[in-house]
Structure 1
Amino acid sequence: MRVKILMVFGLAVLAANAKADRFTNDVYIPGDTLEKAPDNWFHLDPKADEINGVSSIKAYQELLKGKKSNTVIVAVIDSGIDIDHEDLKNVIWVNEDEIAGNGIDDDKNGYVDDIHGWNFIGGADGNVEKDTYEITREYGRLLKKFKGLSEDDMKADKEYDYFKKLEQEYTKTVSDLESKYNNFKGFYENYKLAKKLMEAYVGTEKLTPEDLESVNSSDEKVNAAKQMMKYIYDSGIDESEFDKGNDYFDAGLNYGYNLSYNPRDIIGDNYEDPDDRYYGNNNVKGEFNFHGTHVAGIIAAQRDNSLGINGIADNVKIMAIRAVPNGDERDKDIANSIRYAVDNGAQIINMSFGKSYSPYKDAVDEAVNYAEENNVLLIHAAGNNSKNIDTKEHFPTRTYSSGKKAGNWLEIGALSWKNGKESVATFSNYGKNEVDVFAPGVDIYSTAPEQEYKNASGTSMAAPVTAGVAAMLLSYFPKLTSKQVRDIIVQSSLKYDKLKVLKPGSENEEVLFTELSRTGGMINAFEAVKLASKVVKNKKKLKAY
């Protein structure tokens, strides 16, 4: 019985981790760990504290103390933000040209009552919470296109090879998911029954290991339930992983990979028209806002209120843009989100999301180029699949369809708080050509909905750490361009040429850290501020990047 429990529980943990990867927009929420990182570790200094932080405390204390700062607007394109959180409410951007609640587009920007930002996945009748994956949408589109056609007619179509690739990947993924779910389902249902029976037997609503000691019965069902719960408690298994696993399968089979599921009617836009820009609503919170709330706190949680945590940057306003559901974001929404941020004054845009297919890439490219033309820095999470994104697609990307690369883009991998060979997060994507630098992204303690604070991990956390450092630079050196900020961050990053680390996804294969990104660097706010000061005061030229 124990072997079976462990086997199925292993599937549950894998499922929960995969859920974090695909269903919470590239977040991995850690379970039990043998060691614990300091809650503020991402602020600490690698030399003084022997941890892979960005030295932000040191930068404020030794380089920026007493200096004047300017407010920087950072747009967070995400799942929604709890704008009423105690540690965020005073740093949320307010559109001063809009009158709240009057139902009028006062500033004539095309969005009515956009006081704190905009929601591109909402409509008059509600908000999208769950959505499909892009592979599901694309495969479904081509299934309709090729329905009723002969094999010869299909092969004559330019999308045929693309269709077959999608078909193979989709069917294999769904088949594997269904197989794992069938293994998991029986155990999960037995676990729920056992727990319910034990709670009823001892007369409690929340079972504890101590409660089991009072169970003494000749009933076989009662004893079987007792043994199951006792094993779970004795093994130190986190019961929440079971529910996470079940949520993962539910989200995947009923929503993410469900060809018949389409929540887009809620929004009411013309989805086939990427130039259709004015849709959505002003509900920037949404119903699925842990991810965005956590990201916003890393960047800008209020630093002078003695509450919760300190964000990286001390003079920031967060513009909340909701465009990422529980599922894959849509290109049209991302393109419009970037344009909205640029048009409404954002200087930095954090993008902690990603996917493997991008059918409207040209629309996103145009928006990225629009941001570049308007001197806005884009910071993107590299993803959590332990993949080399030099060879595996991870959208959106800095590379336009023309082959030209955007000059206002930073692609960020995730660091662990551990040192030596464990310095890089095991889940982090990497790429000698596509990833620029690494930043803290494991066990990051930040704001969570409903006045809470929680740990989360992912390149989704590493990107806002970087956005916070970028905001720090622009706040104290407002004349810097977005390209200068980008170059300062990468060129001032700490280099460890001889450091060997475990290759992400591997248990024992070691590689040089320099092989995982363009710079082989870890971002460092202290060194970035020093370099920025030289650039501004001495007109120091930055190396071409």
Structure 2
Amino acid sequence: MTNCKVKHLNNREYKADLEVNKIQQSSVKLWHQKDVQQDTIVGISLDKWYDQNKKVAKSKAIVVAVIDTQIDLKHEDLQGQIWVNKKEVANNGIDDDNNGYIDDSNGWNFIGTKRGSTVWSNFEYVRIVREYEKQFKEIKESDVLNRDFNNYKEFIRAFNLQNKQKKFYGNWLKSLKYKTVKFPIAKDSLKKYFPKENYTYQQLDSMYKKYKINDKSYIQRRDDNDSDLGALIEVLMSALEVNQNSLSDINKLKEEIDSIVNRNLNMSYNERRFFDLNEYLFEKGYGNNNVSSNLSGITINNHSTRVSGILAANRFNGIGVKGIASNVKIMPLSISPSGDEHDKDIALAIRYAVDNGAKIINMSFGKEFSLHKKWVIDAYKYAEMHDVLLVHGSGNNSFNVDENPYYPNDVDYENPNEVVANFINVGATTSKADSTLVASFSNYGKKNVDLFAPGAKIYTTASNNTYGFESGTSFSAPMVSGTAALIWSYYPKLSAKEVKEIILESGTAYDIEVLIPGGEGKKAKFSELSKSGKVLNVYNAMQLAEKVSKKKR
């Protein structure tokens, strides 16, 4: 799903590493904050606004809940930016504020066990198959009662995807096991030709062609014990193709894919057994207060750290990066494991954020299935009732979310109308106002994506006090959340619905044709890929917010 929350290697941010618009580290690191007219870069015009507005807002800090992975609380650029629950006495083992969560000084980890660990998780479609297998596996569609038909359709969709993914990852794991055996042999064998191991892919390809047999007999006699020179060259070529420079790199990926096969995709594995809860009751209190941790030596707090840096990294400390809004406190809420999020965790995290003073909730996660949609929708309505804004990354599947379900969202696909007015779904853009404006990985939709914001090669905070580039709609969403926080910092009397309307209305429109993500070269008007047809523009949003605010006086 992410790294290091382990990524979904078929449909999440990792795909963005292949984004056609590759902004090199030597270019403008914070390009997303630039202005298209001043800098010829399709940013959000944040620098332009700050250049003309030097006064810091004096209003109370805006609390933004980041529902995500665990976070690096010690990062130098997030110091002073993390929410503190002043009603709770830290680590005294008592629920001082009686909110149902013990020692929640900085937030809550809904996927933490009582032992303090964080577990791997099934994909949601595996849970759906497990839930409905006995009911539907041996039944014909014509025999399904009307009241069960939607569940049946979801079961079939989940069942087909599970089988597809099991085959895909099973074959991948088999190839990696083969590669771990043959890689050292291949390295040793080619020392005769390249003593310094300084070969390139092109050199290996040329060498491989000399040994490749033109007919099919070469492929037919290949097996796991094949160690002829052609096969060994092929092993090194495949490693170079994906930047695997050592046996350690291959083993690391093998372990990850092994966990996907034997945990994420395994019907017999159910991580909820590690928790003291009833999955069918909407109860709270499970989890732990450890919002910053590691999983089996793998850092899992990178994703939330990156999201939070874009949103609220310290603008005044002279180091690292500059977040969008300065008068912000991040409330870390961890629900995202190395697998798909549980709807129960999503819904409870939203309610926790609302009950503990969050004004904005950033949700940079998603999945193609949802087992308990009603819990999440009810939580949306709870947030709407308390005037809290919800911001979500539209996903990185390169598909149309009007036609392909992607959760969480603010629509019911059986009756595709928005169920709340406080939800913003955000797609990702690159830095160029040309046909590649929409990031190739981004989801889109005229009805269900509200607007776009930069999401390709974004420089931000990373775990272990570092910084780096990352891509995905996960990093477009916090730009919108940060903008909402900035608006509320100066104009606190605006409602969540008004802030949403301001952000959508004030974006920058581009009257150009763009490549449709996943469209195999097909193009469409940029205005047709989202509801607003625009890219986030902070400068315009702040100006419009001032006008709307004056009218309310």
TM over 0.5: yes
Q: Distance in 2 between matches of 1:32 and 1:428?
A: 10
Cα distance per residue 1:310-363 (max 9 Å; x no partner): 111111100000011111000000000000000000000000111111111111
Deviation of 1:478 (Å): 1.1
Cα distance per residue 1:25-77 (max 9 Å; x no partner): 64545269865152111111111111111111111111353553541100000
SS at match of 1:126: coil
Equivalent residue, structure 2, for 1:4: none
Deviates more, 1:424-433 or 1:303-312: 303-312
Amino acid at match of 2:424: L
Equivalent residue, structure 2, for 1:10: none
Equivalent residue, structure 1, for 2:350: 338
Amino acid at match of 1:141: E
Deviates more, 1:22-31 or 1:352-361: 22-31
The counterpart of 2:165, out of the listed 164, 173, 189, is 173
Deviates more, 1:64-73 or 1:281-290: 64-73
Residues 96 and 222 of structure 1: CA distance in aligned 2, closer, same or farther (over 3 Å): farther
Equivalent residue, structure 2, for 1:380: 392
Equivalent residue, structure 2, for 1:253: 261
Assess if the C-alpha contact under 8 Å between 1:128 and 1:264 holds in 2: no
Please give the residue correspondences for 1:369-448 in structure 2 after superposition, counting only pairs within 5 Å: 369-399=381-411, 403-448=417-462
Equivalent residue, structure 1, for 2:49: 59
Q: 1:272 and 2:280 equivalent?
A: yes
Deviation of 1:163 (Å): 3.1
The counterpart of 2:182, out of the listed 190, 199, 203, is 190
Query: Unaligned 5+ residue runs, structure 1?
Result: 1-14, 211-220, 541-545
Amino acid at match of 1:187: K
The counterpart of 2:497, out of the listed 463, 478, 483, is 483
Q: Distance in 2 between matches of 1:277 and 1:86?
A: 32
Deviation of 1:383 (Å): 0.4
Equivalent residue, structure 1, for 2:534: 521
Cα distance per residue 1:168-189 (max 9 Å; x no partner): 2322332233234434542354
Q: Distance in 1 between matches of 2:71 and 2:366?
A: 18
SS at match of 1:326: coil
Q: 1:450 and 2:442 equivalent?
A: no
Assess if the C-alpha contact under 8 Å between 1:119 and 1:281 holds in 2: yes
Assess if the C-alpha contact under 8 Å between 2:182 and 2:235 holds in 1: no
Q: 1:209 and 2:198 equivalent?
A: yes
Q: Distance in 1 between matches of 2:269 and 2:334?
A: 21
Amino acid at match of 1:340: Y
Q: Distance in 2 between matches of 1:465 and 1:493?
A: 13
Residues 141 and 309 of structure 1: CA distance in aligned 2, closer, same or farther (over 3 Å): same
Q: Distance in 1 between matches of 2:141 and 2:466?
A: 58
Q: Distance in 2 between matches of 1:394 and 1:517?
A: 15
Please give the residue correspondences for 1:81-120 in structure 2 after superposition, counting only pairs within 5 Å: 81-120=71-110
| Equivalences, count | 509
Q: Distance in 2 between matches of 1:249 and 1:235?
A: 18
Q: Distance in 2 between matches of 1:272 and 1:230?
A: 49
Equivalent residue, structure 2, for 1:163: 155
Deviates more, 1:335-344 or 1:445-454: 445-454
Assess if the C-alpha contact under 8 Å between 1:24 and 1:326 holds in 2: no
Residues 330 and 95 of structure 1: CA distance in aligned 2, closer, same or farther (over 3 Å): same
Q: Distance in 2 between matches of 1:493 and 1:279?
A: 41
Residues 53 and 238 of structure 1: CA distance in aligned 2, closer, same or farther (over 3 Å): farther
Deviation of 1:433 (Å): 0.3
Q: Distance in 1 between matches of 2:431 and 2:243?
A: 24
Residues 309 and 107 of structure 1: CA distance in aligned 2, closer, same or farther (over 3 Å): same
Assess if the C-alpha contact under 8 Å between 1:415 and 1:425 holds in 2: yes
Amino acid at match of 2:81: V
Equivalent residue, structure 2, for 1:469: 483
Amino acid at match of 1:469: T
TM-score, normalised to structure 2's length? 0.83
Deviation of 1:89 (Å): 2.5
Equivalent residue, structure 2, for 1:41: 31
Residues 233 and 410 of structure 1: CA distance in aligned 2, closer, same or farther (over 3 Å): closer
Question: Identity across aligned pairs (percent)?
Answer: 39
Q: Distance in 2 between matches of 1:308 and 1:111?
A: 34
Deviates more, 1:462-471 or 1:244-253: 244-253
RMSD across aligned C-alpha pairs, in angstroms?
3.4
Q: Distance in 1 between matches of 2:109 and 2:12?
A: 17
Amino acid at match of 2:55: K
Query: Unaligned 5+ residue runs, structure 2?
Result: 200-226, 295-299
Amino acid at match of 1:335: A
Deviation of 1:223 (Å): 9.0
Equivalent residue, structure 2, for 1:360: 372
Q: Distance in 2 between matches of 1:491 and 1:412?
A: 14
SS at match of 1:249: helix
Deviation of 1:392 (Å): 0.5
Residues 57 and 175 of structure 1: CA distance in aligned 2, closer, same or farther (over 3 Å): same
Q: 1:499 and 2:512 equivalent?
A: yes
Q: 1:324 and 2:324 equivalent?
A: no
Q: 1:286 and 2:300 equivalent?
A: no
Q: Distance in 1 between matches of 2:238 and 2:279?
A: 48
Deviates more, 1:391-400 or 1:57-66: 57-66
SS at match of 1:171: helix
Deviation of 1:254 (Å): 1.8
Assess if the C-alpha contact under 8 Å between 2:57 and 2:327 holds in 1: no
Amino acid at match of 2:198: P
Deviation of 1:232 (Å): 7.7
Q: Distance in 1 between matches of 2:515 and 2:118?
A: 39
Amino acid at match of 1:169: L
Assess if the C-alpha contact under 8 Å between 1:380 and 1:463 holds in 2: yes
Please give the residue correspondences for 1:212-227 in structure 2 after superposition, counting only pairs within 5 Å: none
TM-score, normalised to structure 1's length? 0.85
Deviation of 1:190 (Å): 2.3
Deviation of 1:249 (Å): 2.6
Assess if the C-alpha contact under 8 Å between 1:74 and 1:318 holds in 2: yes
Deviation of 1:109 (Å): 1.1
SS at match of 2:37: coil
Residues 189 and 226 of structure 1: CA distance in aligned 2, closer, same or farther (over 3 Å): closer
Deviates more, 1:415-424 or 1:331-340: 415-424
Assess if the C-alpha contact under 8 Å between 2:66 and 2:363 holds in 1: yes
Q: 1:50 and 2:60 equivalent?
A: no
SS at match of 2:80: helix
Deviates more, 1:485-494 or 1:221-230: 221-230
SS at match of 1:420: coil
Amino acid at match of 2:528: E
Deviation of 1:226 (Å): 9.8
Deviation of 1:467 (Å): 0.7
Amino acid at match of 2:17: P
Q: Distance in 2 between matches of 1:463 and 1:195?
A: 44
Assess if the C-alpha contact under 8 Å between 2:136 and 2:155 holds in 1: no
